[in-house]
Amino acid sequence: MKIIWPAMVLWLLFTAAMAQGAPQPQEEGESITQQQKRLSKILKRPVYQRWKLRQNPELEAERKSYLAHTARSILEDIWKGFVKFWKWIWRQVKKLNINLPDLPQGPEGISDYLRMGAWGAFAALLVVGGLYLYGLRKRLGKRIRLAKVLSREKVRQALEGGEALAMDSGGWMEEAERMGAEGDFRAMYRAIYLGLLSGLHEKEIINYRKNRTNWTYVNHYKGAPEDRAEFGDLTGMFDQVWYGQKTVGGGSLEDVKARAGSLLSRGKVSI
Amino acid sequence: MDEKIEGNGRERKLDEAAKALAMVKTEIKKAVIGQDEALDQMLVTLLCGGHAIFEGVPGTAKTLMVRALGATLSLDSKRIQFTPDLMPSDITGTNVFNLATSSFDLMKGPVFTGLLLADEINRAPAKTQSALLEGMSERQVTIDGTRHTLSPLFTVFATQNPIEFEGTYPLPEAQMDRFLMKVKIDYPSQEAERAIMERVNQGRPSDRLESLGIIPVMNEEDMGGAQAALPGVRIEPGIVTYILEVVRATRNNESILVGAGPRGSIYLMQASKARALVMGRDFVTPDDVVAMVPPVLGHRITLSTDAEIRGSSTEEVMGYILDKVEVPR
Residue A27, pLDDT > 50, answer no
How close is the nearest chain B Cα to the Cα of A61, in Å?
A: 30
CA distance A5 to A119: 9
> Which residues on neighbouring strands pair with residue B256, listed in sequence order?
B303
Residues in chain B with CB shorter than 8 Å from the CB of A190 are: 329
| Contact by Cβ (8 Å): A211, B327 | yes
Position A97 scores a pLDDT of 66
Q: What is the DSSP string of B120-149?
A: TGGGS-HHHHHHHHHHHHHSEEEETTEEEE
Q: Tally Cβ neighbours within 10 Å of residue B203.
A: 8
Q: What is the DSSP string of B30-48?
A: TT--S-HHHHHHHHHHHHH
B258: enclosing H helix or E strand: strand B256-258
Residue A104, pLDDT > 70, answer no
Mean local confidence (pLDDT), B107-128: 88
DSSP 8-state assignment for residue B293 = H
Per-residue model confidence as pLDDT tens digits over A38-94: 777 767 766 666 666 666 666 556 555 666 767 777 888 888 888 888 888 888 777
Residue A35, pLDDT > 50, answer yes
B54: enclosing H helix or E strand: strand B52-55
Residues in chain B with CB shorter than 8 Å from the CB of A193 are: 329
Choose between A95 and A264: higher pLDDT: A264
CA distance B261 to B265: 7
Of B234, B290, B328, which is closest to A244 when you measure between CB atoms? B234
Chain A and chain B share a number of CB contacts under 8 A equal to: 48
B71: enclosing H helix or E strand: helix B62-72
Q: Cβ separation of A242 and B236 shorter than 8 Å?
A: yes
Going by pLDDT thresholds of 50, 70 and 90, the confidence category of residue A30 is very low
Contacts 24+ apart (CB under 8 A), A182-185: A183/A250, A185/A247, A185/A248, A185/A249, A185/A250, A185/A253
| Contact by Cβ (8 Å): A271, A207 | no
Label residue A183 left, alpha or beta by phi (over 0 means left) and psi (-120 to 50 means alpha): left
> Which residues on neighbouring strands pair with residue B182, listed in sequence order?
B53
CA distance B75 to B302: 35
In chain B the domains, ranked by start, together with CATH numbers, are 2-230 (3.40.50.300), 233-329 (1.10.8.80)
Residue B5, pLDDT > 60, answer no
Residues near A139 by Cβ (< 8 Å), separated by ≥ 6?
A74
Residue from B279, B285, B289 whose CB has the most chain A CBs within 10 Å, to mutate: B285
How close is the nearest chain A Cα to the Cα of B69, in Å?
A: 29
Of A212, A214, A244, which is closest to B283 when you measure between CB atoms? A244
Q: Give the dihedral sign, CA B14/B16/B19/B25.
A: negative
How close is the nearest chain B Cα to the Cα of A164, in Å?
A: 9
Residues near A81 by Cβ (< 8 Å), separated by ≥ 6?
A128, A132
B281: enclosing H helix or E strand: none
Residues in chain A with CB shorter than 8 Å from the CB of B239 are: 243
| 0.95 exceeded by pTM | no
Strands of B69-178, DSSP E: 77-81, 93-98, 103-108, 115-119, 140-143, 146-149, 155-160
Per-residue model confidence as pLDDT tens digits over B300-329: 888 888 888 888 888 889 988 998 898 988
Per-residue model confidence as pLDDT tens digits over A166-193: 777 888 888 888 888 888 888 888 888 8
Position B1 scores a pLDDT of 43
Q: How many CA atoms lie within 13 A of B1 on its CB side?
A: 0
CA distance B129 to B121: 7
Mean local confidence (pLDDT), A246-261: 77
Of B283, B287, B323, which is closest to A211 when you measure between CB atoms? B323
- Within its chain, how far is the Cα of B302 from the centroid? 20
Buried b (16+ CB within 10 A) or exposed e, B101-126: eeeeeeeebbbbbbbbbbbbbbbbee
Residues in chain B with CB shorter than 8 Å from the CB of A157 are: none
| Contact by Cβ (8 Å): B11, A246 | no
Say whether A253 sits in a helix, a strand or coil: helix
Residue A145, pLDDT > 60, answer no
> Which residues on neighbouring strands pair with residue B91, listed in sequence order?
none
Q: What is the ipTM of this complex?
A: 0.79
What are the angstrom distances between the C-alpha of A196 and each of A30, A47, A141, B171?
Answer: 42, 16, 20, 49
Residue B119, pLDDT > 50, answer yes
* H-only helix segments in chain A: 4-21, 34-44, 46-55, 60-64, 66-96, 107-150, 152-161, 169-182, 185-202, 214-219, 225-238, 250-265
B55: enclosing H helix or E strand: strand B52-55
| Contact by Cβ (8 Å): B173, B302 | yes
| Contact by Cβ (8 Å): A201, A172 | no
Q: What is the DSSP string of B178-216?
A: TSSEEEE-PPPPHHHHHHHHHHHHTT--TT-GGGGT---
Q: Cβ separation of B329 and A212 shorter than 8 Å?
A: no
How close is the nearest chain A Cα to the Cα of B11, in Å?
A: 12
Per-residue model confidence as pLDDT tens digits over B252-287: 888 888 888 888 999 999 999 999 999 999 899 999
